[in-house]
Structure 1
Amino acid sequence: MLNAIPAEWLWGLAGGLLIGTGGAVFLLGNGRIMGASGILGGLVDGSGRSNWAERAIFLLGVFALPLLLLPVAGPVDTHVTQNLLVLVAAGLCVGIGTRMANGCTSGHGVCGISRLSLRGIVATVFYILAGGLTVALFRHLLGVI
């Protein structure tokens, strides 16, 4: 019976549980919010020199875990475009947006909303709306993605 149920939502659930648990452990362990863009940004701009090893280990885990799960889960179709120009432009837009919003989905969305932070809730509402509008424009009107 279980084989008849599509398992894609299980991966989303598992990922959400891992991100939420990681955010809780990070907050309880060192008293700071687990915002991936802030962790990376502190390494890039030098503001995180005092705890660079912790930041580097966190980012190593973010990149290494999917590779470690590959033999268990097998390849996953992410539906990401193969257009390199679109990927680079999207990455730059996300990076600029997270700096403008002083955070990303892990900081505002996961950690901010769970702490009932008004700033986190407002930021999350706006980036979800912006993402929806972007998909509508680029996929349905322009046919780029």
Structure 2
Amino acid sequence: MATEWIMGLVGGVVIGIAVSLMLLWNGRVTGVSSIVYGVLVPIKGDIAWRWYFIVGLLLGGLSLQATAPELLTVELQTKAWIGSLAGILVGFGAMLGGGCTSGHGVCGVSRVSPRSIVATIVFMAAGMAAVVLLRKTGLLI
């Protein structure tokens, strides 16, 4: 479809504006794994905004489901257990790397953080290697 790249561009601009406003208004990097971790292991006086952020993410998804459900229709190309295992590994990797793709890839790279640039290169390379491996073994189409 000819407009797919436009939707990606618009989405990227919206994400860029959102993380910039988070940094400007709150002085915080928008790293979703760190925000969720702060809810799971709360620090007094630093929890309300985290809940607002998470609820906002959920409400955004629900509003998209209500207004344009066709945009959320996906066909899984792998087994559920592989997706579950991948989610656990991503969570472990986010903790190991001191942040997630949103924190390092979107916010850290834009701030020219050497640590985030290295982390982004590593998780992109690991993701590509995982896809190649899973396709070679027949676990991913």
TM-score, normalised via structure 2 length: 0.88
1:8–1:80 distance in 2 versus 1, CA, 3 Å:
farther
Residue 82 (structure 1) shift: 5.8
Taking only aligned residues, the RMSD between alpha carbons, in angstroms, comes to 1.7
1:71 Cα offset (Å): 4.1
Aligned to 1:75, the other structure's residue is in SS state helix
Instruction: Indicate the residue corresponding to 2:8 in structure 1.
Output: 12
User: Which residue number corresponds to residue 88 of structure 1?
Assistant: 84
Aligned residues: 139
Q: Does 1:112 align with 2:112?
A: no
Q: Return the alpha-carbon distance in structure 1 between the equivalents of residues 62 and 77 of structure 2.
A: 20
| Pairs within 5 Å for 1:130-145 | 130-138=126-134, 140-145=135-140
CA deviations over 1:60-118 (Å, ceiling 9, x no partner): 11222122123443323444346221121011010000000001111111111111111
Residue 55 of structure 2: which of 57, 60, 65 is its match?
Answer: 60
Q: Amino acid of the residue matched to residue 69 of structure 1?
A: L
Which segments of 5 or more consecutive residues in structure 1 lack a partner in the other structure? none
Corresponding residue for residue 69 of structure 2: 74
Instruction: Indicate the percent of aligned positions where both proteins have the same amino acid.
Output: 37
Provide the TM-score with structure 1 as the length reference.
0.86
The equivalent residue for 1:103 is 99
